[in-house]
Chain A
Amino acid sequence: MKKKATALLLAGFLMLTACSSNANTNNQADTGSEGNAAGSQKITVWAWDKNFNIAAMNLAKDAYVADHPDAQIEVVEYAQDDIIQKMNTGLNSGTASGLPNIVLIEDYRAQSFLQTYPDSFQELGDAINASDFADYKLGPTSFDGKQYGVPFDSGVVGLYVRTDYLQEAGYTVDDLQDIDWQQYIEIGKAVKAKTGKDMLTQDPNDLGLIRMMIQSAGSWYLKEDGTTPDLKDNAVLKEAFESYKELMNANIVKINSDWSSFLAGFNSGDVASIPTGNWITPSVKSAADQSGKWAVVPFPKLKNAANSVHASNLGGSSWYVLNNEGKEAAVEFLGATLGSDVDLYQKLVTDVGVIGTYKPAAEGEAYGAADEFFGGQKVIADFAKWTAEIPNVNYGLHTYAIEDILKVEMQNYLNGTAVDKALSDAQSQAESQIQ
């Protein structure tokens, strides 16, 4: 009996120790699996505009995940300003933690990032073949002979016009082919007189129109070196300013305050045309009731600028990989999708309306498709054609810094300051600010 009892007690002790040791192993197993989860690299992507960039990136993600089931890609939407702020904060403090693996940067700003934080971005090397992309995209996306960005959407611009309003004013689409801004203003006046509709919308805080005008003539706010302001005595810029004032004085401009009211302007049928980048196509098409009433014509050129062409660029951005943990996976992801996937580009066109700058993609079906919304016009093909004609300019580092100065000077100019004075003031301000 004594032996029995001892054995029982001993068994009890064993069970106790067994229980506690079990608990320990469970805990260890837990932490182990957590560690693993963290180990499988998640690729984070930051971009803005959920209907365009975000949608495109999600398509790329879907295409990639189909081939790589364990890949984890998170696409996060931020306002562009937020991204710039966060990037500057993070990169300035020298830490890339909290920053994404892939970030979308507007071409205008690309050089400022690449040159300011040269070590923070990952060179793509063999992941993409740079010569496969539109030439004008390579300037902003490379630095010091090295390719850092995967060129994304074409910022090629066109003039979207309401054929019905034009018709009412006595014009046809053919009348708007290859016009200059003077002609555009005349047509605008006629349209306003006949239909009461403004010709275009403008946001006083966005000089995109000026940028489009000057790039069409191969000029920019900065000289070729990308750092010297080129405002005073810039004939092209002067003509652009003058054209802008004429638009205002002609009273054919509907003023908008923000993106929503910009969209609302043409979606509600308040304006007859939109001179802007091709990326507006999805927004235009979102008003399905206006199908067939729109056409896209070549961008007006500046009348007096000798080398002004009917092609320009507005916006457009590219994807960059940050030099932080997970960069290899990010480079591989971009290379496999936007860097080489022709089918993906067809999908981008049909599903999102993104016209890429990947040349091989232009051969695809989607690029040659006629669009019923635009009365059967092969808009994508047209845009692709104009993309090739865009004059190459060096956006340099200070596009928006100078634009902030110009916005004020534009006000002064519209309020009566002489254009030369306004530009000369802008020049001196820019020189003092940009060193």
Chain B
Amino acid sequence: MEKWLGKLRDQSLFSKIFVVMVISIVLVTVLITGVTVQLSQQLFVQTFSITNSKIIDQIKSGLDNSHYTAVNTAINVGQSGVIRSFMTEKDGSSLANFKRYYSMRDQMDRIQSGIGAANVGLSILGGNGRSYTSDVTYWSGSSEQLKNNPITAAAQEQGGRLFYSFMDAGPLNSGNRYLVAAKALTAPGLAEPYGTLYMFTRESDFRKNYTSFTSRGNDVMFLDTAGRIVSSNRTEQTGSLSPDLLASAKHIALGNLASEELTIAGRDVIVLADYLPSYNFYIVNLIDKDRTIGTLLDKKALVLIGAAIAAVAVLVVYFLTKRLTKSLRTLVKKMSNVTKKNFHNYMSVTGTYETRQLSTAYNYMLKELNDYVAQLVETQKEQRNAELAALQQQINPHFLYNTLASVNILVQRGSKEQATETIHALISLLQNTISNVKETITVEEELVNLKHYIFINQVRNGNRVKVETFVSPDCMKDKVPKLILQPFIENAFFHAFNIKTSGYIYVTIMKDRDTLHCEVVDTGDGMDLDSKQDIPDSTSSRQLFSGIGIRNVHDRLMLLYGEPYGVSISSTPGQGTKVSIKIPC
């Protein structure tokens, strides 16, 4: 868990980018899908409203034709004197009736043939109780039953108007539903209508006027003013009452609206409606949004496609981000390693252009840094060297004064040879220190310098301190920094024999593989060395010959040769001091 968390932390950049991208992709996909669906739905509804209102117009014009036929039929029946006589006269003899019936039938057949191929059943019912029905399948009841039908009463109420009504399935009309156009037949001069004309149209035939325009979820129905569905392509609805639809249809027809959206029986529908004045019906077009739009607009497919695109995008983003951040991550890892005192951790230049540039720049920076550091070290070295050189060339005037004073005494004492020897030593010493500007000299030359220096000192201070040198012959040609041993010998001469008056100083030089070991051991007083400070700080003590102190020697060696080299001092009070110098050769 912790490991995992750690990994997560390592990839926080990746996680952040990825999460943001995923959220945006999902959001964009969802929004676009939603907006597309919304837009196409609106477009669909608009288109549907437009085309369907045209369809309604077409249905209307078809129905107007039917209505015109009905009106014509009614006029023909109403104008026929034979038919009026049939419906008004009293029964006469068989023969007279025979003729009347025959001519009535003749007229009716002619009128029927004028209707043409339309399936319309005609019935007439006279005030005298006589009736005629052209086709028994439309109406098989007796004239009495026809008279008692509510449509007859309604026809009387309507005056001479042709009106349409719905006749439900009944035993008298072969179990069919009918739309009946009825008209009370009137004549000028007659107070009461003399008969009634019925024009039966099967609801199934009436339906043919519009079923071709309907489809699943796109229903057309006709409502009478009582809200009864008199015809519908959904046959199960025919005959039922639907006040909701009626209200909506009225609203649309009166308000001259294009369409209205409603929720009927839990379904979202678009309602288009119009009033048919000739029929006194409302034509209603119901479009089931879910069904029709569902078939046109495959929401599921749309969502699935959206999801697929989002998934692909997420996948791509995942790998892309992962790749992009990978080099960055390695960059970060490397950089964090660099901080641990190592400026040599160069990076491999890989990854994208940006990371490559960054790595290059970083590497360049490291390189520059290293160069700079090297330069700095070099400069410091040189500075120290310059310092030393300056020091080396500084002969302490006291040394000269003392030496010359000693020579003076020697001359006064008449020791001419010793004086000359001393002067020689001094000259050679001065020559070697001042004139020879080379930094390093051979051990041999160093020993010569030492000899001169010791000689001069012994001239001045007597022979109570003896110096013995033991030099391994193979070391003679090795190079050592100039005047490296002198400060220690001087130290031993002037500080080691304050209590003891005489003793020895041993100088040993030998080689151990690549290292030159030089030791200056005295048998003097020794001292208590502070354990922490191997090398006594001798800056304060005045140097007798040159400005070079012991401390300086050590620093110089360190500077020249590095860590393992340098000066170490061990001392035991009363027994003497041992100075070891390690130099590479």
Contacts and interface: CB of A to CB of B under 8 A. Distances in A.
Contacts of B133: 257-260
Contacts of A254: 94, 97
Contacts of A19: 300, 304
B235 to A, nearest CB: 15
B354 interface: no
B105 A198 contact: no
B101 A77 contact: no
Interface stretch (A128-136, A244-252, A394-402): A244-252
A16 B307 contact: yes
Nearest to B322: A2
A65 B322 CA distance: 73
Contacts of A407: 102
B95 A248 contact: yes
Contacts of B144: 264
A63 interface: no
Interface in A246-297: 247-261, 263-264, 267-268
A252 B105 contact: no
A16 B304 contact: yes
B99 A415 contact: yes
A249 B101 CA distance: 16
B104 interface: yes
Interface string B122-142: 000000001111111101111
B308 A9 contact: no
A20 interface: yes
Contacts of B97: 253-255
A203 interface: yes
A259 B132 CA distance: 9
B131 A260 contact: yes
* Residue of B94, B140, B144, B174 with most partner-chain A CB within 10 A: B94
A77 B202 CA distance: 13
A202 B137 contact: no
A257 B136 contact: no
A78 to B, nearest CB: 7
Interface size class of B (residues with CB under 8 A): 35 or more
A13 B136 CA distance: 66
Given A9-B311, A260-B140, A249 B301 contact: no
B119 interface: yes
A257 B132 contact: yes
A210 to B, nearest CB: 14
B38 to A, nearest CB: 23
Nearest to A244: B98
A79 B142 CA distance: 18
A257 B101 CA distance: 6
Contact of B139 (A252, A260, A268, A415): A260
A360 B137 CA distance: 33
A371 B50 CA distance: 67
Nearest to A81: B135
A411 B99 contact: yes
A250 B142 contact: no
B93 interface: yes
Contact of A79 (B136, B175, B300, B301): B136
A12 interface: yes
Contacts of A82: 119, 135, 137
B95 A5 contact: no
A211 to B, nearest CB: 17
A259 B121 CA distance: 14
A31 to B, nearest CB: 15
A48 interface: yes
B385 interface: no
Interface in A24-74: 48-50
Contacts of A267: 142
A261 B102 CA distance: 14
A414 B98 contact: yes
A263 B132 CA distance: 13
Contacts of B134: 258
A264 B142 contact: yes
A261 B123 CA distance: 12
16 contacts: A2-B322, A9-B314, A13-B308, A48-B137, A198-B94, A204-B101, A204-B102, A249-B95, A253-B98, A254-B97, A257-B105, A259-B133, A260-B143, A263-B142, A264-B142, A414-B98
Given A19-B304, A50-B174, A79-B136, 13 more contacts: A9-B311, A19-B300, A20-B301, A50-B175, A77-B137, A82-B137, A204-B98, A204-B99, A204-B105, A205-B101, A251-B95, A258-B131, A411-B102
Interface of B: 7, 86, 93-95, 97-102, 104-105, 119, 130-137, 139-144, 174-175, 300-301, 304, 307-308, 311, 314-315, 318, 322
Question: 9 closest pairs, A vs B, by CB?
Answer: A204-B102, A253-B94, A255-B97, A257-B132, A259-B136, A264-B142, A248-B95, A79-B137, A255-B101
Interface of A: 1-2, 5-6, 9, 12-13, 16, 19-20, 23, 48-50, 77-79, 81-82, 198, 202-205, 247-261, 263-264, 267-268, 407, 411, 414-415
